[in-house]
Structure 1
Amino acid sequence: MPSPERSDEALHVSIDLWYPDCWEIKITERLDVGILGYGIYMTGSEVATLFTIYADDHESVMEGIEAIRASENVHSVSQMTSGFRQTSVPKPGNATRELLVVHDGRKQISQPITSRGFVCTGPIDIRGGREYWSLATNHDRKTVRVKLDEVREQMGAEINVRSLKQKSRGTAPTTLPVDQFTQRQLEVFQLARERGYYEYPKETTAGELADELGITTSTLHEHLHKVEAVLLGGNGLMRLE
């Protein structure tokens, strides 16, 4: 029998966050680039992380790399050869570079989150001055919120819970071909999924989503239709994880 703080089914927790003194957030806030973070390895106060930096053009990517090198919290930056990974991670953006970055782990929010019983289920997407995390945990819903409050207090963080759901049994997620969409299309579609726009009955309306995104309803439908046209051209609507 699970303890009162544990759930017998894993919860999927989607969050976005901001916290001070994070070099990745500062760079994506200042420059028109995004960063995917994965493969974190900690050695004392240092962290080695694999990153994919992405943008719409090569010049923006190179500007982003130079900004990473110039960060006072970054110790070294090494570019990885293309195709070094056995499995590919879909990436948005027309231009990308794979990096191995050694940096100051004392300035990172990863350990405060994972030490509280959360496991990353995919790359951390950092764009527009915020980090987007997909997590799994066996905490119950109340405990999830308590643990995130602890992270907020420890790191001075702003954390927004985008969705908090149990995984459907027997349903295996498929991969969303993110390289076929713009960053804005992915952002709109992901928010629609998380807010329950595709649930039956709907948990939100197009107008509410448009207001949250600061766009018109017609623009929202335009973004969603472009994503849906690609996904429904295959074997039905894929899951975005």
Structure 2
Amino acid sequence: MASPEQSDEALQVFIDLWYPDCWEIEITERLDVGILGYGIYMTGGKVATLFTIYADDHEFVTKGIETIRASEHVHSVSQMASGFQQASIPKPGNATRELLVVHDGRKQISQPLTSRGFVCTGPIDIRGGREYWSLVTNHDRRTVRVKLDEVREQMNAEINVRSMKRQSRGTVPTTLPVDQFTKRQLEVFQLAREQGYYEYPKETTAGELADELEITTSTLHEHLHKVEAVLLGRDGLT
């Protein structure tokens, strides 16, 4: 029998967060780069993580790698062969590099989240000084908020719940061909999807999304139309 805090359907939770002393957040806040994190392995106080650093220019990627190496929280950085993850995990940005980074696991928020029943469903997208997580859990909505409050207190973190949606167990989230998008297009489309812009009836408006992103409504529609063209197989359109 399921406990009172569990549900027959999984709950998909989209969050973005910030917490102190996180080198990934600090680097993406200082530089015009983004980082995808996946494949975490922890041993003692050290964590080995596979990262993809991405940007719209190779010069920014190179600067980002140099900054990662210089971080006091990073023990070592190894570059993977070009295209190592290309077949399995798509990546945004015009320039990317795959890295295996050994760093201080005591400064990471992963364990506080997973120990409270949250499972990460894809790469953690770190950009603009924030981490964007897609999680699933069998907790109900009230318990999710209680657990996230615990993480906030433990890590002195700012956690924003972008959306919570029910999905049947075993449902696999749709994988987007994000390697065909710029960083900004991906950010705009992900926010629109998470906030229910594509639901019927709509759960948000273009104006509300534009205000949150601090762009004009026409710019928002331009970004969305380019992503939609790719998804509809009309990637030649502008």
Instruction: Using structure 2 for the length normalisation, give the TM-score.
Output: 0.94
User: What's the CA shift string for 1:59-107, capped at 9, x where partnerless?
Assistant: 1111000100000000111111124459421001111111111111111
In structure 2, distance between residues paired with 1:143 and 1:127: 28
SS in 2 for 1:101: strand
Q: 1:1-241, aligned counterparts within 5 Å?
A: 1-85=1-85, 87-167=87-167, 172-233=172-233
SS in 2 for 1:75: strand
| RMSD between aligned residues | 1.6
SS in 1 for 2:42: strand
In structure 2, distance between residues paired with 1:57 and 1:158: 30
8 Å CA contact 2:16–2:161 kept in 1: the answer is yes
In structure 2, distance between residues paired with 1:61 and 1:214: 26
Matched AA of 1:51 = F
Unaligned runs of 5+ in 1: 235-241
SS in 2 for 1:26: helix
Q: How many residues align?
A: 234
In structure 2, distance between residues paired with 1:28 and 1:84: 23
SS in 2 for 1:113: helix
In structure 2, distance between residues paired with 1:233 and 1:197: 21
Distance change >3 Å, CA 63–CA 194, structure 1 → 2: same
In structure 1, distance between residues paired with 2:225 and 2:90: 21
In structure 1, distance between residues paired with 2:43 and 2:86: 25
Deviates more, 1:215-224 or 1:121-130: 215-224
Q: Identity percentage over the alignment? A: 88
Matched AA of 2:69 = R
8 Å CA contact 2:7–2:140 kept in 1: the answer is yes
In structure 1, distance between residues paired with 2:62 and 2:215: 31
In structure 2, distance between residues paired with 1:192 and 1:45: 38
Unaligned runs of 5+ in 2: none
SS in 1 for 2:37: strand
